[in-house]
Amino acid sequence: MLTRAKKKSKNVTLELFSNLDAYSWVTQKSNFWDLLANINNLVVELIGQYHGSMDPTAFIHPGAIVTGSFIGRNVQIYEGCTVRNSVIWDNSVIGHGSEVARSVVLRDCFVPRFNYIGGSFLGERVQLGGVVSLATRRHDNQPIVISWGKERVSTNYHKMGSIIGDDVVISFGSHLNPGTVVGRESIIMPHVDLRGYVPPRSMVYNKQETVITRRRRFLRLEE
């Protein structure tokens, strides 16, 4: 199944990213899930290539925890954040109280307050609202299966998050299940519980009904 997916992987990749060739350390890898599973090797590779784990122009708040990661130019990591075993590329912002673990965040991304990014790959200019979660583990602890375009691919890994294309917006309070893939320039509206594959330039939202009615008198408990 994985072999069949590789034949079409270039087409799916184009539905996610427009500038991936600028990142040779991504395109040289076999696929995204292997890259994420071996993120520690990538961090070591980048530290050797750039002669350090953090560019001198980056800002890391004293109240943030950054371990086992590579931090690019003009990155900003604010108080209460945890970044571990990850790559945060140029000009990206990790806001208050957010956690990024075992993930790759490309340039110009905005990850504001109280987000969790686990085992995920974020393209360029991805913007999250607050309290967004990219989960990594199934409830039954089985290997993560990805909808890679029209293919269903078992990654053979028990922990993996999402693959998010360029210029995607994920709004407040949304939850992405393990193995979710979102095509470029899509918008995920607030409070969406998402899984599977989202084609490029899509809008995803919940249908709900808001009811406004006349306030009634509630009985007192002692009555």
165-203 pLDDT per residue, tens: 999 999 999 999 999 999 999 999 999 999 999 999 999
Q: Flag whether pLDDT at 2 surpasses 90.
A: no
Tell whether 139 is covered by a domain.
Answer: yes
Percent of the chain clearing pLDDT 70 (strictly above):
93
CB proximity list for 59: less than 8 A, separation 6 or greater: 75, 76, 77
Tell whether 162 is covered by a domain.
Answer: yes
pLDDT at 220: 66
Q: How confident is the model at residue 219 (pLDDT cuts 50, 70, 90)?
A: low
Q: Which of 114-128, 133-147, 173-187, 208-222 has the lowest mean pLDDT?
A: 208-222
Tell whether 214 is covered by a domain.
Answer: no
The CATH number covering residue 109 comes to 2.160.10.10
Q: How confident is the model at residue 11 (pLDDT cuts 50, 70, 90)?
A: confident
Tell whether 216 is covered by a domain.
Answer: no
Q: Flag whether pLDDT at 115 surpasses 90.
A: yes
Tell whether 218 is covered by a domain.
Answer: no
Tell whether 210 is covered by a domain.
Answer: no
DSSP strand pairing (197-198 vs 181-182)? parallel
Range of the domain at 18: 2-204
pLDDT at 28: 81
What is the pTM for the complete model shown? Answer: 0.91
Tell whether 160 is covered by a domain.
Answer: yes
Q: pLDDT of 43-63, one tens digit each?
A: 999 999 999 999 999 999 999
pLDDT at 168: 98
pLDDT at 1: 34
Q: How many domains does the chain have?
A: 1
Q: Which of 27-31, 133-137, 145-149 has the lowest mean pLDDT?
A: 27-31
Task: Kindly state the helix (H) or strand (E) to which residue 37 belongs, with its residue range.
Answer: helix 32-37
C-beta of residue 98 within 8 angstroms of C-beta of residue 79: no
**Mean model confidence pLDDT for the chain:** 93
